C-alpha cells in the first residue's frame, strides 16, 4: 500500500497486496510468492487437507443446528445441536487460521516492498515462539475452560430459545427453535407469570436483607472486637470464625435438625422460656426468617474478618483527634469508622449482592425451598430464582424455561457487576490497557 | 470529668464483653450441639441435655463400619476429588494468570472479559448441558467427569485471583531477570511462583473446599452410592430417614467438618486478604 515511499520500487512494489490476495484465495500461495517455501507448503498442506476433509461435514452439522432435525426417532435434536455448535466453533477457528495466513503474507510482502530480508523458516519458528508464548502458555487453561464451562454455557443459552422439555425430548420427539416464546410465556401465562413475580420479588427481598444484615452484624462485631481494652481479641475473633469454617453443607444440615418443628433444639429452648413451638420450616413467613437467620449465622464471620482488617488499618491518631474535639462514641463511628470502612468494602458488598442473589446452597440445603406453595409452578415459599431453576430442571423437566430464567438471572448479575466496574474504574484504566 | 469518662468507658467495655459473649454462644451452639448428638448413644433427636450423660463414641464407630452407608468411601472420594481439583487448578491457572498479568498480547482484553462474563452466569444453568455432554462421552457417574466440571469452573475465578496477586509484583523484577538472560518460563517458575506462594495456598484451599462443599454437580454426576461425595451422601442420609439416623449423621458430620475447619481457620487470614486484594484490584 505504501510502496511508493519504499526504497525498493521495482519488482516487489506490490508484493504485500499481491501476496495477501493470493493467500486469500489459496492458503500458502502468498508465502510462496514471498519466497517462504517451507511455511507456504505447510499452509498449503493444511488447506488441502481441510478442503478434502471437512466442508461437507461442517455444512451438514451447521444445517442440523439450524433445522434441529426433521425426522423424529431418526434425528436426535440435542446431538445435532451439540455437533452444530462444535462445527461453528471449529469453522471460526479455521477462519482465524486463514486470516492469520493472509496477515502473515501481507506483512512479509511488505518487508519485501521495503527492501528488507524475509525471515527464514528457522527465524519464523523462533519468532513464532516469541509471539506465540502467551497463547501456548494459556491454552491448557483456556481449553479446559472452553470444554467444561463455555461450551455448556453456549448450549444452555441456546436451549432458552427452543421447545426442549419433557414433552419435546429426543429421541422420540424433535426440538424446535421457538425464538423468544419461552420468555413471552413466563411473562404472560397466568400461573407462570404469577410464580415468576412472586419468586422474583422474594429474591430481591432476600438479596437485600441478607446482604444488609450480614454487613451490619459483621461490622458491628468487628467494631466491638476492636475495642482497645478487650483481652484476647485474636482468640475471640478466631472463635467467632467457626461458623464460617464449618463446611457449609454440614452446618446447613445441622440447622435443619435444630429448626425441626417437633424435636428441634430451638423449639425446645423456646419451650423452656415458655414460648410455643414455632413452625420454623413449615410456615412461609417463618421459613423466610429462618433462611435469613441461618444465612446470617453462616456469613457474618466473613464480613467481620474483612472489617477487622480495615479497622486495624485506621490510624489511632484520627480517633485521638476526635476525642480531643469531644466527639462521642456514636460520632466517632459515623464520622470516622463508617465512611472509611464502607469505602474499602463497598466493592465486596456489591459482589455479595450478586452472590446472595444466586445463593442456591442455603435455600436448597436448609429447606429445599419449601414450604410448598399451592398454584406455584414448582416453586416453594423460600425458593429464589436460582433454586426455582434447579427445580424446573430436576423436577418439572422444563429445561427451556429453566434456561430462559437463567438468562434473566445473568442479566441482573451482569448489571451488578457492570455497576461495580464502572465505580472502581480499575478495569477501564489500568487492567486492560 | 475524668472520673465520668472512666465510668463511661467501663460501661462501654462491659457492653462489648456482653455482645461478644452472646455472639460466641450463638456461633458455637450448633457446633457443640452436633458434637453432643454425635456422642449420644441412642438413636434419636430426643436428647434433653446438650452433652448426653452417657456419652460414648459408639456413633463414630458405627458410621465408620456401617454397611448401610458408604461413609468411608464418601470421605475418600471427597478428599480425592478435592485434592486433585486443587492440584490441577493451581497448575492450570497459575501459568495462565502469569501470562495475563505480565505479558501483553492480542486478545488479552477479551480473555479477561470472558473470565468476568462467565462468572456472571449461574452455574446451575449448565446442568442439563453438562449431563448431556458427560453422557455422550460416557463420563456420567465417574469421578473424572465430575473433576472436569469442577476444573473448568475453577479457571476464571482462580486465574483472576492469582493474576491480581501477580499484578502487585513489580514488573521491574521480570525485566531484570530478562536482562540476566532468563527465559519467560524460567521467570515464571523460579521468580513469580515462589513469590506468589501465599496466594497459591489460598487458591489451592478454595479449590479443595469448593468441591468438598458442592452438592449440585456431585448429585447430578454421581449416581451410585459408593461413588458419591460427603455432601451428597450426608444430605441423602437425613433427607430420607430423618429421625432414625440423626445421631449417626451427627458423627459423620463432625468427622467431615473437623479437618476442613482446622485448615480453614489456620488460613483464613490469607484468605480474607486475598479476597479483598482481588476485589479492589478489579
Question: Greater confidence, B84 or B4?
Answer: B84
Q: Is A78 touching B (CB cutoff 8 A)?
A: yes
Q: Does A150 contact B133 at a Cβ distance shorter than 8 Å? A: no
* Confidence at B244, pLDDT banded by 50, 70, 90: low
Question: Greater confidence, B133 or A171?
Answer: B133
| Residues 6 or more apart whose Cβ sits within 8 Å of residue A36 | A108, A118, A119, A121, A124
Report the alpha-carbon distance of residue A247 to residue B134 in Å, rounded. Answer: 27
Closest CA to B30 of A208, A236, A366: A366
Instruction: Give per-residue pLDDT as tens, A293-347.
Output: 999 999 999 899 889 888 888 888 888 899 888 888 888 888 888 888 888 888 7
> Using CA of residue B59, residue B61, residue B64, residue B65, what is the dihedral sign?
negative
Which stretch of A8-17, A37-46, B233-242 has the lowest confidence by average pLDDT? A8-17
Closest CA to B104 of A182, A261, A429, A432: A432
Phi, psi of A167 (to 5 degrees): -85, -10
CB-count exposure of residue A422 (10 Å: 0-12, 13-18, 19+): exposed
A177 to chain B, minimum CA–CA distance in Å? 17
pLDDT > 90 in chain A, percent: 38
CATH T-level fold of B68-281: MetI-like fold (1.10.3720)
Q: Which of A134, A244, A349 should we substitute to test contact with B (largest number of B Cβ atoms within 10 Å)?
A: A134
Q: Does B126 contact A224 at a Cβ distance shorter than 8 Å? A: no
Instruction: Give yes or no for a contact between A126 and A39, defined as CB atoms under 8 angstroms apart.
Output: no
The rounded Cα A137 to chain-centroid distance in angstroms is 23
Instruction: Give per-residue pLDDT as tens, B27-51.
Output: 999 999 889 888 888 765 555 566 7
Mean pLDDT of chain A: 86
Q: Does B152 contact A148 at a Cβ distance shorter than 8 Å? A: yes
Grid cell of A376 as nine digits: 406455584
DSSP A116: P
Report the alpha-carbon distance of residue B62 to residue A121 in Å, rounded. Answer: 70
Instruction: Give yes or no for a contact between A383 and A358, defined as CB atoms under 8 angstroms apart.
Output: no
Residue in the block written with cell 448489571: A415
Grid cell of B18 as nine digits: 456482653
Q: Is B87 touching A (CB cutoff 8 A)?
A: no
Q: Is A229 touching B (CB cutoff 8 A)?
A: yes
Q: Does B276 contact A345 at a Cβ distance shorter than 8 Å? A: yes
Instruction: Give yes or no for a contact between B207 and B90, defined as CB atoms under 8 angstroms apart.
Output: yes
* Confidence at B147, pLDDT banded by 50, 70, 90: very high
Q: Does A221 contact B20 at a Cβ distance shorter than 8 Å? A: yes
| Residues 6 or more apart whose Cβ sits within 8 Å of residue A239 | B24, B27, B28
Predicted local distance difference test score (pLDDT) of residue B158: 92
Q: Is A297 touching B (CB cutoff 8 A)?
A: yes
Report the alpha-carbon distance of residue B152 to residue B223 in Å, rounded. Answer: 21
* Confidence at A4, pLDDT banded by 50, 70, 90: very low
Q: Is B17 touching A (CB cutoff 8 A)?
A: yes
Ordered structural domains, chain A, with CATH: 3-159 (no CATH), 185-431 (1.10.3720.10)
Name every chain A residue with its beta carbon within 8 A of the beta carbon of B44: 263
Which stretch of A95-109, A200-214, B85-99 has the lowest confidence by average pLDDT? A95-109
pLDDT mean over A151-165: 93
Which stretch of A73-87, A116-130, A268-282, B169-183 has the lowest confidence by average pLDDT? A116-130
- Reported ipTM: the value is 0.86
Report the alpha-carbon distance of residue B84 to residue A128 in Å, rounded. Answer: 33
A7 to chain B, minimum CA–CA distance in Å? 30
Q: Which of B30, B100, B171 should we substitute to test contact with A (largest number of A Cβ atoms within 10 Å)?
A: B30
Predicted local distance difference test score (pLDDT) of residue B277: 62
B8 to chain A, minimum CA–CA distance in Å? 10
**Is the confidence at residue A424, as pLDDT, over 80?**
no
Nearest 5°: CA angle at B170, between B167 and B175?
115
Residue in the block written with cell 479443595: B208
| Residues 6 or more apart whose Cβ sits within 8 Å of residue B131 | B140, B220, B221
Name every chain A residue with its beta carbon within 8 A of the beta carbon of B273: 309
Predicted local distance difference test score (pLDDT) of residue B43: 62
Q: Which of A133, A135, A145, A392 should we substitute to test contact with B (largest number of B Cβ atoms within 10 Å)?
A: A145
Q: Is B161 touching A (CB cutoff 8 A)?
A: no
180-219 of B, contacting A, C-beta below 8 A: 184-185, 209, 212-213, 215-216
Amino acid at each position: 500500500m505504501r510502496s511508493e515511499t519504499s526504497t525498493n520500487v521495482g519488482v516487489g512494489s506490490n508484493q504485500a497486496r499481491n501476496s495477501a490476495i493470493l493467500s486469500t484465495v489459496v492458503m500458502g500461495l502468498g508465502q510462496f510468492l514471498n519466497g517462504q517455501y517451507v511455511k507456504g507448503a505447510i499452509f498449503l498442506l493444511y488447506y488441502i487437507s481441510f478442503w478434502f476433509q471437512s466442508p461437507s461435514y461442517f455444512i451438514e452439522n451447521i444445517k442440523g443446528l439450524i433445522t434441529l432435525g426433521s425426522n423424529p426417532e431418526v434425528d436426535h435434536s440435542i446431538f445435532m445441536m451439540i455437533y452444530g455448535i462444535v462445527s461453528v466453533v471449529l469453522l471460526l477457528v479455521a477462519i482465524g487460521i486463514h486470516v492469520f495466513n493472509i496477515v502473515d503474507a501481507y506483512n512479509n510482502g511488505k518487508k519485501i516492498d521495503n527492501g528488507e530480508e524475509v525471515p527464514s523458516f528457522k527465524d519464523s519458528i523462533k519468532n513464532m515462539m516469541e509471539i506465540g508464548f502467551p497463547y501456548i502458555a494459556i491454552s491448557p487453561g483456556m481449553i479446559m475452560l472452553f470444554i467444561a464451562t463455555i461450551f455448556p454455557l453456549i448450549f444452555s443459552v441456546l436451549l432458552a430459545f427452543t421447545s426442549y422439555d419433557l414433552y419435546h425430548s429426543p429421541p422420540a420427539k424433535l426440538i424446535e427453535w421457538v425464538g423468544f416464546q419461552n420468555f413471552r410465556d413466563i411473562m404472560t401465562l397466568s400461573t407462570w407469570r404469577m410464580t415468576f413475580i412472586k419468586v422474583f420479588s422474594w429474591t430481591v427481598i432476600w438479596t437485600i436483607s441478607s446482604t444488609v444484615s450480614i454487613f451490619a452484624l459483621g461490622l458491628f462485631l468487628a467494631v466491638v472486637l476492636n475495642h482497645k481494652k478487650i483481652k484476647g481479641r485474636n482468640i475471640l475473633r478466631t472463635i467467632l470464625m467457626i461458623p464460617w469454617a464449618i463446611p457449609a453443607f454440614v452446618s446447613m444440615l445441622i440447622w435443619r435438625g435444630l429448626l425441626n418443628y417437633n424435636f428441634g433444639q430451638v423449639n425446645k429452648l423456646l419451650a423452656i422460656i415458655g414460648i410455643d413451638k414455632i413452625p420454623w420450616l413449615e410456615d412461609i413467613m417463618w421459613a423466610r426468617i429462618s433462611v435469613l437467620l441461618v444465612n446470617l449465622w453462616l456469613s457474618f464471620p466473613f464480613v467481620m474478618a474483612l472489617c477487622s482488617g480495615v479497622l486495624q488499618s485506621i490510624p489511632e491518631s484520627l480517633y485521638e483527634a476526635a476525642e480531643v474535639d469531644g466527639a462521642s462514641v456514636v460520632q466517632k463511628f459515623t464520622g470516622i469508622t463508617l465512611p472509611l470502612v464502607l469505602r474499602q468494602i463497598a466493592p465486596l458488598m456489591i459482589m455479595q449482592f450478586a452472590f446472595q442473589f444466586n445463593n442456591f446452597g442455603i435455600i436448597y440445603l436448609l429447606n429445599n425451598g419449601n414450604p410448598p406453595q399451592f398454584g406455584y409452578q414448582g416453586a416453594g415459599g423460600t425458593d429464589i430464582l436460582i433454586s426455582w431453576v434447579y427445580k424446573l430442571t430436576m423436577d418439572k423437566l422444563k429445561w427451556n424455561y429453566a434456561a430462559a430464567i437463567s438468562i434473566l438471572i445473568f442479566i441482573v448479575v451482569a448489571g451488578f457487576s457492570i455497576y461495580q466496574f464502572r465505580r472502581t474504574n480499575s478495569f477501564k484504566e489500568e487492567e486492560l490497557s | 470529668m475524668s472520673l465520668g469518662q472512666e465510668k463511661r468507658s467501663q460501661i462501654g467495655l462491659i457492653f462489648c464483653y456482653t455482645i461478644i459473649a452472646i455472639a460466641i454462644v450463638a456461633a458455637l451452639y450448633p457446633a457443640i450441639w452436633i458434637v453432643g448428638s454425635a456422642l449420644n448413644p441412642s438413636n434419636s433427636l430426643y436428647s434433653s441435655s446438650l452433652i448426653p450423660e452417657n456419652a460414648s463414641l459408639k456413633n463414630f464407630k458405627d458410621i465408620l463400619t456401617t454397611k448401610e452407608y458408604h461413609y468411608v468411601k464418601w470421605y475418600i472420594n471427597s478428599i480425592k476429588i478435592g485434592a486433585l481439583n486443587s492440584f490441577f487448578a493451581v497448575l492450570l491457572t497459575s501459568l495462565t494468570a502469569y501470562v495475563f498479568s505480565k505479558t501483553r498480547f492480542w486478545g488479552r482484553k477479551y480473555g479477561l472479559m470472558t473470565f468476568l462474563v462467565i462468572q456472571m452466569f449461574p452455574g446451575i444453568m449448565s446442568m442439563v448441558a453438562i449431563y448431556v455432554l458427560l453422557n455422550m462421552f460416557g463420563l456420567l457417574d465417574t469421578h473424572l467427569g465430575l473433576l472436569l466440571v469442577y476444573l473448568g469452573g475453577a479457571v476464571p475465578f482462580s486465574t483472576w485471583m492469582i493474576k491480581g496477586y501477580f499484578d502487585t509484583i513489580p514488573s521491574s523484577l521480570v525485566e531484570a531477570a530478562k536482562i540476566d538472560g532468563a527465559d519467560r518460563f524460567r521467570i515464571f517458575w523460579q521468580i513469580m511462583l515462589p513469590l506468589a506462594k501465599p496466594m497459591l495456598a489460598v487458591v489451592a484451599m478454595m479449590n479443595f473446599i469448593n468441591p468438598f462443599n458442592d452438592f449440585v454437580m456431585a448429585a447430578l454426576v454421581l449416581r451410585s452410592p459408593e461413588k458419591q461425595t460427603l455432601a451428597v451422601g450426608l444430605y441423602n442420609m437425613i433427607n430420607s430417614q430423618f429421625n432414625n439416623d440423626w445421631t449417626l449423621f451427627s458423627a459423620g458430620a463432625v468427622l467431615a467438618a473437623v479437618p476442613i475447619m482446622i485448615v480453614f481457620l489456620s488460613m483464613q487470614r490469607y484468605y480474607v486478604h486475598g479476597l479483598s486484594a482481588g476485589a479492589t484490584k478489579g
